[in-house]
């Protein structure tokens, strides 16, 4: 079966920053599941189905990527899938505190699954889904920040909202 990693997140929507982490993970692991976990603290723009479609289309050049969504706790999901690792991306120091809390709790919940961190590619260090949504909402230029399918989906979404 080989080594399996999970890239968890909200992916509302997937950005080139996410994609960079996913591509790098796909070179190290035999299989990578990109899994959407609904973050209760965030209200989402895209439905889970829409987010899955955008992830699938953005990763179709990578043969070892699977896309999924889950309502379980990440560590229960990881155990069910028999995952070897969870991969998270780190952008700025501000990500660190939050990630450290979650990782410590996750290790307590399931010490078998290792959490690995990947430093963002410098060009994406200020990139987040919320930033992209904010810019797109006001017709700003998001070229180079998101895959083409996401660009169209955002344009479509905000056309209806306006
Ligand atoms: P969550 O709500 O779980 O933080 P996100 O969709 O915001 O979900 O992020 C999912 C993962 O991708 C997180 O590990 C986050 O740190 C990482 N990530 C998001 N944007 C970037 C970026 N620009 N560069 C590197 N990693 C990123």
Task: Identify the active-site residue in 18, 31, 51, 133.
Answer: 18
- Quickly state the pLDDT bin for 161 (edges 50, 70, 90): low
- CATH architecture classification, 4-125: 3-Layer(aba) Sandwich (3.40)
Substitution site in 91, 102, 121 for ligand 1 pocket (most atoms within 8 Å of beta carbon): 91
Q: Any catalytic annotation for residue 3?
A: no
Show Cβ contacts of residue 137 under 8 Å, excluding neighbours closer than 6 positions: 158, 161
CB 64 within 8 A of CB 29: yes
Q: What's the 88 CA to ligand 1 centre distance in angstroms? A: 7
Residue 112: is the preceding peptide bond cis (ω within 30°)?
no
Task: For 49-78, write each residue's pLDDT tens digit.
Answer: 999 999 999 999 999 999 999 999 999 999
Task: Identify the active-site residue in 10, 26, 70, 129.
Answer: 129
Q: Which residue has the higher pLDDT, 5 or 43?
A: 5
Q: What's the 9 CA to ligand 1 centre distance in angstroms? A: 6
- Computed over every residue of the chain, the mean pLDDT equals 94
Q: Any catalytic annotation for residue 61?
A: no
Q: What are phi and psi of 24, to 5 degrees?
A: -65, -40
Q: Any catalytic annotation for residue 129?
A: yes
- Quickly state the pLDDT bin for 160 (edges 50, 70, 90): low
d(C-alpha 62, C-alpha 15), whole Å: 16
The candidate with the shortest Cα–Cα distance to 64, out of 84, 34, 36, 85, is 34
Residue spans of the domains in the chain: they are 4-125
The candidate with the shortest Cα–Cα distance to 83, out of 122, 32, 46, is 32
Q: What's the 78 CA to ligand 1 centre distance in angstroms? A: 18
Which residues, judged by CB distance below 6 Å to any ligand atom, belong to the binding site of ligand 1? 9-11, 15, 17-18, 21, 39, 88-89, 91, 95, 120, 124, 127-129
- For the beta carbon of residue 151, count every other beta carbon within 10 angstroms: 17
Token digits of residue 151: 């660009």
Task: For 13-51, write each residue's pLDDT tens digit.
Answer: 999 999 999 999 999 999 999 999 987 777 899 999 999
CB 146 within 8 A of CB 54: no
Q: Is the pTM of this model over 0.85?
A: yes
Q: Any catalytic annotation for residue 160?
A: no
Token digits of residue 18: 């996410």
């Amino acid at each position: 079966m080989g080594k399996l990693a999970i890239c968890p997140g909200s992916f509302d929507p997937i950005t080139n920053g996410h994609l960079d982490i996913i591509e790098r993970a796909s070179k190290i692991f035999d299989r990578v599941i990109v899994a959407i976990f609904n973050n209760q603290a965030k209200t989402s723009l895209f439905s889970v189905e829409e987010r899955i479609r955008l992830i699938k289309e953005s990763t179709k050049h990578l043969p070892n990527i699977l896309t999924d969504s889950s309502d379980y706790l990440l560590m229960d999901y990881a155990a069910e899938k028999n995952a070897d690792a969870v991969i998270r991306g780190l952008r700025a120091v501000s990500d660190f505190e939050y990630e450290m809390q979650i990782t410590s709790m996750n290790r307590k919940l399931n010490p078998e699954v290792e959490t690995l961190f990947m430093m963002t590619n410098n060009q994406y260090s200020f990139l987040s889904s919320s930033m992209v949504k904010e810019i797109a909402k006001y017709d700003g230029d998001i070229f180079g920040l998101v895959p083409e399918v996401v660009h169209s989906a955002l344009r479509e979404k905000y056309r209806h909202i306006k």
